[in-house]
Copies of this chain bind each other. A is one copy, B any other.
């Protein structure tokens, strides 16, 4: 705690606190000569303003919150980078909250935001989140919220997403072109927007391509690792197992590679795999993983920019808009493309 306050600085300079405060804020009411005097005195005494006194009075915290399911994920960590880059530039601080995919936790976090602790919120909802009523309440309390990647239908606000439907569609087309007749969609619970849209793209592609519907066409993974493994193992151990797999979220990739090793299923010969992921090591995997690479940094940056646009308005209101940033399908050997020169 910086022991030196405005009052002390004022006394040291034989000025009033009002004058010093205004001088430090570069107010037009103060003449240049005293401003420089104050600046100098502040530097000399090592004055650092108390942010809480300031926030209390100004009703603004210079802080935003980022709430997301987890941080140990290449998409989210890159998105944080994007967010941080603009927060830094705007002179804002960023609080981070992890929901670990639990709705209850997400609700508790949002409840806190009604206090005005943060000026704005960036959120990627948990896989349990449905209605978004808790987020609506935050918006109602006057703090702008923008969704990124995983959005929520209820609250009308800005969201920055990728072209989930189209990416998924393209992925299935690529799987089919690589010889798949029976691809499986591996997803989180489908109340999640991204799962829903990716699933729709998957199904539309299936229909358009005239691929036959089959059992285990869609596998839903929950939070229990063992159960997920069992589910996937069962699907892959069938008489007519799937010959392609579209993995909806990064952390499920390891299940697939793990089980294929265990069950001696050769990728891509017996099973072709595509995953939504930003893993830098995808190209060095065995075999190199075909990915739907999302512009994670860009999404974070764009979402943050949208938030700050709202914060700069007097009304703090945010446009109800959907910003779509395209993902790229990066073809590698896990779908049977050229066996040499990965990358």
Given A116-B1, A116-B50, A254 and B284 touching (CB < 8 A)? yes
Q: Which residues of B contact A115 (CB under 8 A)?
A: 1-2, 48-51
| Pair A71/B61 contact, Cβ less than 8 Å | no
A94 closest partner in B (C-beta): B96
Q: Which residues of B contact A251 (CB under 8 A)?
A: 280
Cβ of A318 to closest chain B Cβ, rounded Å: 15
Task: Report how far A333 CA is from B72 CA in the complex, Å.
Answer: 25
- A-B pairs, 5 with minimum CB distance: A286-B286, A1-B116, A48-B115, A52-B55, A52-B56
Taking Cβ atoms with an 8 Å cutoff, the residues of A that contact B are: 1-3, 46, 48-53, 55-56, 59, 61, 63, 70-74, 77-78, 80-81, 84, 93-98, 111-112, 114-117, 141-143, 251, 253-254, 257-258, 261, 279-281, 284-288, 341-343
Q: Which residues of B contact A63 (CB under 8 A)?
A: 95
Q: How many copies does the complex hold?
A: 2
Q: Which residues of B contact A281 (CB under 8 A)?
A: 253-254, 257, 279, 281, 285
A285 closest partner in B (C-beta): B284
Task: Report how far A48 CA is from B108 CA in the complex, Å.
Answer: 12
Cβ of A72 to closest chain B Cβ, rounded Å: 4
| Pair B72/A84 contact, Cβ less than 8 Å | no
Q: Which residues of B contact A96 (CB under 8 A)?
A: 80, 84, 94-96
Q: Which residues of B contact A254 (CB under 8 A)?
A: 280-281, 284
Task: Report how far A225 CA is from B81 CA in the complex, Å.
Answer: 18
| Pair B59/A56 contact, Cβ less than 8 Å | no
Q: List 5 A-B contacts (CB under 8 A).
A: A2-B141, A48-B112, A63-B95, A77-B77, A93-B117
Q: A1-B115, A71-B81 are in contact. List 20 more A-B contacts (CB 8 A).
A: A1-B143, A2-B115, A3-B141, A50-B115, A71-B71, A71-B80, A71-B84, A73-B77, A77-B77, A81-B98, A93-B95, A93-B117, A94-B95, A95-B96, A251-B280, A253-B281, A254-B284, A261-B343, A281-B281, A286-B342
Given A84-B96, A95-B93, A287-B286, A116 and B52 touching (CB < 8 A)? yes
Task: Report how far A288 CA is from B115 CA in the complex, Å.
Answer: 49
Task: Report how far A111 CA is from B251 CA in the complex, Å.
Answer: 38
